[in-house]
């Protein structure tokens, strides 16, 4: 991602697919920001300036989560599935997740919880202010061919 042509290739692909940049969301995780390549953050920022949506994926798995929030302006924060799985397992879980969601909202980020598998997780996430959820509770992953057949 840090190489100089990455931004140009992404934007060329967007044009080739006859999309608008805001129709593309690029997921990246915290390790992307810590890859040792100074151009990585610049590439992400450039894509965002062109309108590409950025999604900080797997949040909560790295040791530098707060640093990632501070250094990269993303549009979406995706809570790792381990965060949803921990809800309700101890007295600290819900307040911690609520604080993460409130922090993301204060930074104008939408929050998506991944790997939601139970109605209790969904209910708790809704109460805590989570914006969107993904997971087997709502639907199984499908291949591109199945998706195309269902939407045509």
Q: How far apart are CA 122 and CA 130, in angstroms?
A: 9
The verdict on residue 1 lying in a domain is no
pLDDT at 17: 96
Considering its fold, how many domains does the chain have in total?
A: 1
Confidence at 3, pLDDT banded by 50, 70, 90? low
Contact 78, 42 (CB under 8 A): no
The verdict on residue 42 lying in a domain is no
The verdict on residue 31 lying in a domain is no
Confidence at 110, pLDDT banded by 50, 70, 90? very high
What is the pTM for the complete model shown?
Answer: 0.88
pLDDT at 20: 96
Confidence at 101, pLDDT banded by 50, 70, 90? very high
The verdict on residue 19 lying in a domain is no
pLDDT at 61: 83
Check residues 2 and 37 and name the one with the higher pLDDT: 37
Check residues 34 and 113 and name the one with the higher pLDDT: 113
The verdict on residue 112 lying in a domain is yes
Does the structure show a pLDDT above 70 at 2?
no
The verdict on residue 51 lying in a domain is no
Query: How would DSSP label each residue in 76-97?
Result: EEEE-HHHHHHTTSSTTHHHHH
Q: Tell me the average pLDDT across 60-77.
A: 82
Structural domain range at position 120:
75-151
The verdict on residue 46 lying in a domain is no
């Amino acid at each position: 991602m840090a190489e100089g042509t990455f931004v140009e290739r992404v934007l060329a692909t967007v044009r080739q697919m006859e999309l608008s940049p805001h129709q593309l969301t690029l997921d990246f995780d915290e390790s992307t920001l810590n890859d040792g390549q100074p151009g990585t953050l610049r590439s992400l920022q450039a894509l965002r300036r062109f309108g590409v949506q950025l999604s900080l994926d797997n949040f909560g798995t790295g040791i530098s989560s707060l640093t990632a929030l501070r250094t990269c302006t993303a549009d979406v924060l995706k809570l790792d599935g381990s965060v949803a799985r921990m809800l309700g397992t101890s007295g600290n879980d819900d307040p911690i997740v609520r604080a993460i969601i409130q922090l993301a909202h204060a930074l104008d980020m939408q929050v998506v919880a991944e790997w939601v598998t139970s109605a209790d997780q969904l209910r708790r996430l809704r109460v805590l202010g989570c914006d969107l959820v993904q997971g087997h509770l709502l639907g199984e992953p499908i291949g591109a061919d199945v998706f195309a057949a269902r939407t045509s």
